[in-house]
A = this chain, B = another copy of it.
Amino acid sequence: MKLHEAPSPNARRVHIFMSELGIECERVAVDIRAAENLSAEFLAKNPGGRVPVLELDDGTFIGESVAICRYLDSIAANSAAPSMFGHDGVSAAQIEMWQRRVEFNFLLEVAGAFRNITAFFKDRETCVKEWGEVCAERAPKALAVFDAQLAQHEYLAGEHFSIADITLGISIDFAKMVKVVELPELPNLTRWKTQIDARASFSAQ
């Protein structure tokens, strides 16, 4: 098993997930600034040119970081902790719900603000600064919803650590790094962030 990757919030999500499960594998660096991910060789692995991509020993490629995590979860069935995707129908649905709220209402807005305001990928996409500003204004609003949930529950999707916590953690760190979104101080979110940052997995490289 090999992970083809470049530094990004999505690669970090996979690293944290693997560390939580105690899984290691070979890593292959892809140079996205040099557009290596858009080469014919790479597009044969993942038609959208996205990273990370997990290559299984039989030559199967799995793209999309959440899909990679689902595969890793399936091979880690011996783990003592409840699955980070849920342990029954209701918990699986609630984790999916929170995970999607983080992705669609926060991570995508931060990414939209970053890409359109800084024009980081202007060599390969059209950037619309005004749209980046709309995204930057919307992103913090989602955090208030997460803060209210974390006032009632230890973790984002309830009483167990889940992939929704990983996604929110990497998204907030990404937002702090790219500095295009103003992040409000919210007490429950701060309590939760301190707690998850203390997990060994959050220092995984």
| A47→B131 contact, CB < 8 A | no
Shortest Cβ distance from residue A168 to the other chain B in the assembled complex, whole angstroms: 15
Q: How far apart are the CA atoms of A96 and B64 in the complex, in Å?
A: 8
Shortest Cβ distance from residue A173 to the other chain B in the assembled complex, whole angstroms: 21
| B64→A100 contact, CB < 8 A | yes
A105 interface hit (Cβ, 8 Å) = yes
* A: interface residue count bin: 35 or more
Number of chain copies forming the complex: 2
Shortest Cβ distance from residue A96 to the other chain B in the assembled complex, whole angstroms: 4
Q: How far apart are the CA atoms of A16 and B88 in the complex, in Å?
A: 23
A81 interface hit (Cβ, 8 Å) = no
Stretch at the interface among A26-34, A69-77, A183-191, A197-205: A69-77
Shortest Cβ distance from residue A54 to the other chain B in the assembled complex, whole angstroms: 8
Shortest Cβ distance from residue A71 to the other chain B in the assembled complex, whole angstroms: 4
| A47→B148 contact, CB < 8 A | yes
| A92→B64 contact, CB < 8 A | no
